[in-house]
Amino acid sequence: MIWNQASVNIMDIRHVYMRRGDNLNGFRLPANGFFLTIDGSARVRMDGVEHRTERYHILHGVKGCRLDMQPLEEALELYVVFYNAVLTKPIEQELVELPERSNPFRVQYGMTPAHPKSLVSKLQLMQREWEGQGELVEFHVKAQFYQFAYELLWESHSNGISTAKTDLVRRVKRYLAEHCAESVTMEQLSALFDCSPRHLTRLYKQATGRSPIDYLIGMRMDKAKQLLLTTDATLQEIADSIGYPDSYYFAKMFKRNAGLAPIRYRTANAKRESRSDLPSAAARSVIATRNPQLYMDNENLYPNREEGVATIYMNQTSSFALLR
């Protein structure tokens, strides 16, 4: 029913080659994606759930999912299809009353189809035509994608393929922990995890008692307390390390959270907390290290299609270096 009511847009189709040692770490999917291994094998984790992909193995990941991929042989070859699905308002309202598992665009799974050659041929045709131009070509690619999706649905229903429920709150928690020192807004979170701010806030409050932004602030304040008691870092250094470029604003937020100004908190708790043995300079160098940007937006991932990019080389810095 949901597939029938959804409006699907193909975002990108790629023929990907990786070599042993070219690990992909912490890449966040910019859209829902199908991954079909053509040759080789890899260890894959999607939001911490591990998969072992062999030849003709298919994985489905959801937008915002954290992807880690480690080739296990000298060469790994696969096709990747990124797509977005937009639901009509009536269907969205019905889904609010249903468990997250009921939405096929919110579940992650892996399977080895009984008849992979048909799926492979469809992806090969889609990828070749994707490099072409014209709205008629794009329409044909979308038609092929629906046939591809239909065959997967038929296989999963016929063979009882189980799907993994995507715990949206857990995924957002992990993202906030990884990006604690970066600017984060509800609009960014809802776009990244493909849901409305209202829906995300409701789920998050049910699970944690707080909104995502309040949860992030609490996480930052907990880290600030730790740094105040275990390092000699200045307020500006601590503020920078948790995402507040303005130390005055950080001090205001800290006092609101802890009931004391940062310096008074450090002084009042100095005798009760053991100080770190790290020298001040070393301690400051630790907190100054930022987590690398893991999520790449569509403009960086998808250059102009007219450039004819045919393959992706995934390197160890979790970025895509595009090869012609």
Same domain, 102 and 239: no
Same domain, 9 and 158: yes
Sign of CA dihedral 155, 157, 163, 169: positive
Q: Domain range spanning residue 132?
A: 2-166+297-323
Same domain, 149 and 31: yes
| Alpha-carbon distance values, 34 to 30, 82, 90 (Å) | 12, 7, 27
d(CA 144, CA 129): 10
In-domain check, residue 145? yes
Same domain, 26 and 126: yes
Q: Which residue has the tokens 């296989």?
A: 155
The predicted model scores a pTM of 0.57
Same domain, 103 and 221: no
222 pLDDT higher than 70 = yes
Mean per-residue pLDDT, 10-26: 92
pLDDT over 90 percentage in the chain: 36
Same domain, 105 and 230: no
> For position 224, which CATH number holds?
1.10.10.60
Confidence of residue 299 (pLDDT cuts 50, 70, 90): very low
Confidence of residue 15 (pLDDT cuts 50, 70, 90): very high
Residue type, 8: V
Residue 190: count other Cβ atoms within 10 Å of its Cβ. Answer: 19
In-domain check, residue 214? yes
In-domain check, residue 246? yes
> For position 133, which CATH number holds?
2.60.120.280
Same domain, 10 and 137: yes
> Radius of gyration of the chain from Cα atoms?
23
Same domain, 22 and 118: yes
pLDDT of residue 193: 76
Considering its fold, how many domains does the chain have in total? 2
Each residue of 61-118: pLDDT tens digit?
Answer: 999 889 999 999 889 999 999 999 888 766 656 655 555 556 788 888 888 887 888 8
In-domain check, residue 175? no
CA 30 to chain centre: 7
Mean per-residue pLDDT, 129-138: 85
Confidence of residue 315 (pLDDT cuts 50, 70, 90): very low
Confidence of residue 148 (pLDDT cuts 50, 70, 90): very high
Q: Are 184 and 176 in contact (CB under 8 A)?
A: yes
